[in-house]
Amino acid sequence: MPVTYELAHEAVVARLSTDGAAHCERVAEMAAEIASVYRVDPTGARLAGVLHDWHRETDVGELLRRAETGDVAITEIDRAVPYLLHGPVAAHDLALEYPDIGSDVLEAVAAHTCGAPVMSALSMTVYVADVIEPGRRYARASELRGVVGDVTLGELFARAYSASLRHLIETRRRLHPVTFEVYNLHVAGVRP
């Protein structure tokens, strides 16, 4: 059976907490909204949005185990902070769960936490939606919600990534090595 939003949503509601599933619903709606503004496939955006946190509540030992058996790349930082693997492991497991799911959707799910050197428009859409969904109440999120459609999608992504990075630095979290690559490729030097 082809994976539809309804099917994916049902599975997400069954596996995540009420708050977790509600966040996924808001990301799906926000991703569809951003997609329609920037002429990105809204169906794929909504599907990736609802599925992005498939492994957000999975035990860290289980995440590492799944990454190891699923041949998902694991860095030293992933071992220290296995939560960072919840996107890539979700993409791996969703491909098995829904064999007909689009590779663009899987890429967007994989890249939603740290980004990726190659960011498609769909991946940027889902990344931004996760940062600015209406449940995110901090000032930077509402500022970003206010410029959807006024700046390019690349610029919106650059601002959202930069906001996430500032938060990581302010709270003195570890940075994943891919962050440097994504920052240099998609954030530094990108002009509105």
Residues binding Fe ion (CB under 5 A): 53, 56, 130
Q: Shortest approach of Fe ion to residue 74 CB, angstroms?
A: 17
Cα distance between residue 133 and residue 175, in whole Å: 23
Angle at the Cα of 101 from the Cα atoms of 66 and 149, rounded to 5 degrees: 105
Q: Shortest approach of Fe ion to residue 123 CB, angstroms?
A: 13
For Fe ion, the closer of residues 56 and 176 by Cβ is 56
For Fe ion, the closer of residues 48 and 153 by Cβ is 48
Q: Decide if 113 contacts 78 (C-beta within 8 A).
A: no
Token pair 């694991």 is found at 74
Q: Shortest approach of Fe ion to residue 191 CB, angstroms?
A: 28
Q: Shortest approach of Fe ion to residue 111 CB, angstroms?
A: 11
For Fe ion, the closer of residues 86 and 159 by Cβ is 86
For Fe ion, the closer of residues 135 and 192 by Cβ is 135
Neighbours of 11 (CB within 10 A): 18
CA distances from 139 to 57, 107, 163 (A): 26, 29, 10
The DSSP result for 57-107, as a single string, is TS-HHHHHHHHHHTT----HHHHH-GGGGHHHHHHHHHHHH-TT--HHHHH
For Fe ion, the closer of residues 30 and 187 by Cβ is 30
Q: Shortest approach of Fe ion to residue 164 CB, angstroms?
A: 11
